[in-house]
Amino acid sequence: MRAPYGGTFAGMGVLITVIVLVLLGLVAVWAFNRLVSLRNRTDEAYAQIDVQLKRRYDLIPNLVETVKGYAAHERGTLEAVTSARNAAAGASGVAATAEANNVLSGALGRLFAVAEAYPDLKANATFLNLMEQLTTTENQLGFARQFYNDSVRALNTAIETFPLMLLAGMAKATRREYFQVDDAAVREAPTVQF
């Protein structure tokens, strides 16, 4: 028996099967490319956090030296900031980096509190410039963390949803950790007044 358009039913079945396979192939390519894109965007977002953290780490020794000139007897606080900075700079992985930077933020808060007791320091142009740069860096770091966490959410959601979950392993897309602050006291920005 012939189909109304001159082909056979068997021929129509083969054609439909080929169309379905092509469509499935296109969906698989799209899914794979989407996962690779999300994975790369997450890696890029983490690299931006690294850039801001490096800038932060580079500013801290200058800030400590400036404070040291005015408040040399605050040695414990200055050493705590330096130690926290070194630990944060040496941390690897999202969780360890986040935790080390939480400790560093706490130490910086104590340094800012020390600076409050020294009016000459608060009026020093170098100190004010460093504080402005550090504030700008902290803001940029906050935006970088937000972008990274948004990227992680998109990647993790894609990995857990159909049909992308079927190709996650082939695309080397794995769940990522959020860059988050666990300590409630560190979540609050230190109050600095000059």
| Amino acid residing at 74 | E
Q: What is the pLDDT of residues 27-80, one digit of tens each?
A: 999 999 999 999 999 999 999 999 999 999 999 999 999 888 888 778 888 999
Q: Give residue-wise pLDDT tens across range 87-123.
A: 999 999 999 999 999 999 999 989 888 888 888 888 8
CA distance to 36, 150, 167, 185, 193, per residue, from 154 (Å): 12, 6, 15, 28, 38
**pLDDT given for residue 191 in this prediction:** 52
pLDDT given at position 172:
93
* Mean pLDDT along residues 174-184: 81
Res 179 pLDDT > 60: yes
Quick one: pLDDT at residue 98?
93
- Section 12-29 average pLDDT: 94
Say if residues 125 and 69 touch (Cβ distance below 8 Å).
no
Among candidate residues 111, 91, 108, the one with its CA nearest the CA of residue 99 = 91
Average pLDDT score, the chain: 88
